[in-house]
DNA sequence: CTCCATACTTGAAGACATCAAACAATATGA
DNA sequence: TCATATTGTTTGATGTCTTCAAGTATGGAG
């Protein structure tokens, strides 16, 4: 049995892991001509369209910031704004087909780069999945 | 035994974990008046002084970018530049006492926020540590 | 000494980030 | 209903981040 790492040691390793993964993501995004903020936005939209407000909340930034990011994505036809049918103040942002393709390409590239996961056995993958779910609970 | 998650599922969770942790870090940094780039820089310097060049390499950004970041940190007396004794082209950047205190404060705040790790048993911590080391090998 | 590489800085241009202020549409309360 | 407050989004100002091209100074190889 390996010795128990301290919380500080584990956080240090966590920080390293996060930096590595984040850098990979940024690189994959840059290879397709996107900034990491733009790629993060497309990632959120991959699941479902969202209003400007909820995008800003999810990405933890100011609403006025989203305006600029969506402006630039829309100018490249990767997303489109649609006025909500139920509340005319709200604009729902959805991926275009080109946007969908682009974010898929980034995810594919990440899968190829992320070779570390291939080092794990099925049991280890399941255990890592479980542990991460505990440490970073959804929502 | 839990079912084996697919690589895609695991990467999805990994992305979520990374986003969460990164957002926490950015928030902790902002609470002390630093941007995340500035806080990341101080984190690197916490271990040892480094030249502009190696900082840029570690943080995966252009060297000219570091100039601006270090300029702003130096203006606030959080770091200082020192001309290398062996190569007068090189400037070594070191934390000041104030810089040391500030990055310590951010780390402390992260420890308080990162309550997920407290949910794990000693065995689970050791296992998470081991798995992360495999997936994100040092260097 | 000449030539080239290296370490860093500067300047320009675009993106990111936050704040205050504006605007339109909706909700609330008398 | 009408006046008022709240909400969703945008605009403008300011500062930071990021990259690129170009410049300066130092070091090293021939």
Domain-embedded: residue A48? yes
Looking at residue A1, its pLDDT comes to: 63
Q: pLDDT band at B2, cuts 50/70/90?
A: low
B59: domain CATH number is: 1.10.10.10
Whether CB of B22 is under 7 Å from strand D: the answer is: no
For residue A127, tell me if it sits in a domain: yes
pLDDT over 80 (residue A139): no
pLDDT at A59 over 90: yes
Q: Chain B residue with minimal CA distance to A15?
A: B21
pLDDT at B102 over 80: yes
pLDDT reported for residue B138: 84
pLDDT of residue A62: 97
pLDDT category of residue B61 using cuts at 50, 70 and 90:
very high
Q: Do A135 and B128 touch (CB under 8 A)?
A: yes
Average the pLDDT over B20-24 and give the result. 94
pLDDT class of A48 with cuts at 50, 70, 90: very high
Is the pLDDT reported for residue B1 higher than 70?
Answer: no
Residue A79, CB, less than 7 Å from strand C? no
Classify residue B8: in a domain, yes or no: no
> Do A116 and B137 count as a contact with CB atoms less than 8 A apart?
yes
pLDDT of residue A18: 94
Closest CA to A55 of A87, A93, A19: A93
Residue A117's domain comprises: 19-132
Within-domain flag for A8: no
pLDDT, average across residues A25-32: 94
Q: Give chain A's mean pLDDT.
A: 95
Query: CB-CB: which of A20, A125, A138 is closest to B10?
Result: A125
Is B6 a member of any domain? no
Alpha carbons B59 and B3: distance in angstroms, whole number: 37
Q: How many domains does chain B contain in total?
A: 1
Inside any domain, residue B4: no
* Separation of A37 CA and D10 C1' (Å): 20
- Segment 12-41 of chain A within 8 Å of chain B by CB: 13-23, 25-26, 40
For residue B5, give the nearest of A10, A22, A126 by CB distance: A126
In a domain, A46, yes or no: yes
The DSSP result for B1-50, as a single string, is -PPPPPHHHHHHHHHHHHHHHHHHHHHHHHHTT--HHHHHHHHHHHHS-E
How far, in Å, is the CA of A36 from the C1' of nucleotide D8?
25
Q: Is residue A78 part of a domain?
A: yes
CA A77 to chain centre: 19
Question: pLDDT (tens digit, 9 = 90+) per residue, A67-123?
Answer: 999 999 999 999 999 999 999 999 999 999 999 999 999 999 999 999 999 999 999
Asked if B126's CB is within 8 angstroms of A4's CB, the reply is yes
């Amino acid at each position: 049995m390996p010795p128990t790492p301290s919380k500080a040691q584990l956080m240090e390793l966590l920080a390293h892991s996060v930096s590595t993964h984040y850098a990979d993501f940024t690189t994959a995004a840059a290879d397709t001509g996107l900034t990491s903020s733009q790629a993060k936005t497309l990632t959120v939209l991959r699941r479902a369209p969202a209003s400007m407000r909820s995008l800003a909340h999810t990405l933890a930034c100011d609403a006025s910031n989203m305006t600029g990011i969506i402006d630039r994505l829309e100018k490249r036809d990767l997303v489109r704004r649609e006025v909500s049918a139920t509340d005319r103040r709200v604009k729902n942002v959805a991926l275009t087909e080109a946007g969908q393709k682009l974010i898929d390409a980034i995810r594919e590239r990440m899968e190829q780069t992320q070779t570390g996961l291939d080092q794990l056995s099925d049991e280890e993958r399941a255990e890592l999945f479980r542990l991460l779910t505990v440490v970073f609970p959804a929502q």
